[in-house]
Structure 1
Amino acid sequence: MPAEPPDHAAPPHLLISGVGPGAPIAALIPFDDDLPGRIEALNRFWHALRGKRMPHDTRITRQQRGRLRLMLQACDGRNCGASYRAIGEAIFGIERVAADPWKTSPLRDRVIGLVEGGTGLIVGGYLRLFRYRHRA
């Protein structure tokens, strides 16, 4: 008996037999709270398919993208057995880490936060990245 898909499984899709790779495709988009983000993602996908320059993704800022990269780097290091200090040296530089006592350094707290944030992304928090930012 086939296993049940997890709750966070990819949305269902339909493969039509006899349709070649060059045939036009369609997208079915639910009209829900995520509609603006879905439309933006579809527009970016369309540009990518056409080989055109993709519009800027407004779901996350440049600063958020930079932090995401650091979180994943820190988490990768930790998963490979690196100490928090070694991760800090790789991300911030040996000199900057050595400038303060490590046990009380704000960089230590930042590295721990990056690892925790990266772990949160890995266990499913990445799904929040696909949501369109709602302005208050």
Structure 2
Amino acid sequence: MLLGGIEPDQPLAAVVPLDTDAPDRIEAISRLWGGLQAPPPPADLRVTLQRRQRLRHMLRAFDGRACRATYREIAEVMFGVSRVASDSWKTSALRDSTIRLVRDGLAMVDGGYRDLLRRRRRR
């Protein structure tokens, strides 16, 4: 939450609730501070290139579904018309992938994005 009337040169404070997510919040604040002081931020490859690409696909699939596109239409845009047409749609692996992308995109939009901010912990 940003406070009104704060000038850019004024110091800010962060309030961290001391609950089970406190370590994640503190780490996020630390990364923000580091990024503000010495950009670019450290190359924490916690989110790999492959994972970032899948996140983009999930959000694109979700957007397509939110605009009332069918799973097949979404798959044609994401994978190409010729790849979708090459298999029977009902048994296609692309159909299953598209459905998973839409499902996971919905979960991401419905609050799952917060998991990206959480620190990985050893089990």
TM-score (norm 1): 0.72
**26, 50, 60: which one aligns with 1:73:** 60
**Residues 1:134 and 2:113 aligned together:** no
Question: How many residues were matched structurally?
Answer: 123
The match for 1:41 is 28
Give the % identical residues: 50
Per-residue CA deviation, residues 15-38 of structure 1 (Å, 9 max, x unaligned), is 497x53202223344555434433
1:44-123 superposed matches below 5 A = 44-50=31-37, 52-123=39-110
In proportion to residue count, which structure has more helix? 2
| Unaligned stretches of 5+ residues in structure 1 | 1-12
**Structure 1 residues 121 and 16, CA gap change in structure 2 (3 angstroms):** closer
TM-score (norm 2): 0.78
Please say if residues 37 and 59 of structure 1, whose CA atoms lie closer than 8 Å, have aligned partners that are also in contact. Answer: no
Work out which structure has the larger RCO, using CA pairs closer than 8 Å and 6 or more positions apart in sequence: 2
Structure 1 stretch displaced more, 121-130 or 109-118 = 121-130
